[in-house]
Amino acid sequence: MPDARRLRIELAIVLGLSLGASAVYSIVSIIGRVTDTRPLADQSAAINQSRSSREWLDFTYQFLDVFFGLFVVALALYLLWRPGGSPFRRIGFDLTRPGRDVASGLALVAAIGVPGLALYAIGRAAGVTVAVVPSPLDTYWWTIPILVFAALKAALVEEVIVVGYLFTRLRELGVGPWATIVSSALLRGTYHLYQGFGPFVGNAAMGVVFGWCYLRWGRTMPLVVAHWVLDMVSFIGYPLAVAWWPTLFAPPAQ
pLDDT digits (tens, 9 = 90+) for 202-251: 999 999 999 999 999 999 999 999 999 999 998 888 776 666 656 666 66
pLDDT for 2 equals 64
HSE-CB for 137 with a 13 A CA cutoff:
11
Residue 254 has pLDDT above 60, yes or no: no
Please tell me the distance from the alpha carbon of residue 97 to that of residue 89, in angstroms, as a whole number: 11
Average pLDDT over residues 104-114: 92
> pLDDT tens digits, residue range 1-29?
569 999 999 999 999 999 999 999 999 99
Please, what is the average pLDDT of the chain? Answer: 91
Give the model's confidence band at 123: pLDDT under 50 very low, under 70 low, under 90 confident, else very high: confident
Q: Which residues contact 110 (CB under 8 A, 6 or more apart)?
A: none
Q: Where are the alpha helices (DSSP H) in 4-133?
A: 4-16, 19-34, 55-69, 71-80, 87-90, 98-126
Output DSSP code: residue 193: G
Q: Which residues contact 227 (CB under 8 A, 6 or more apart)?
A: 151, 154, 155, 158, 159
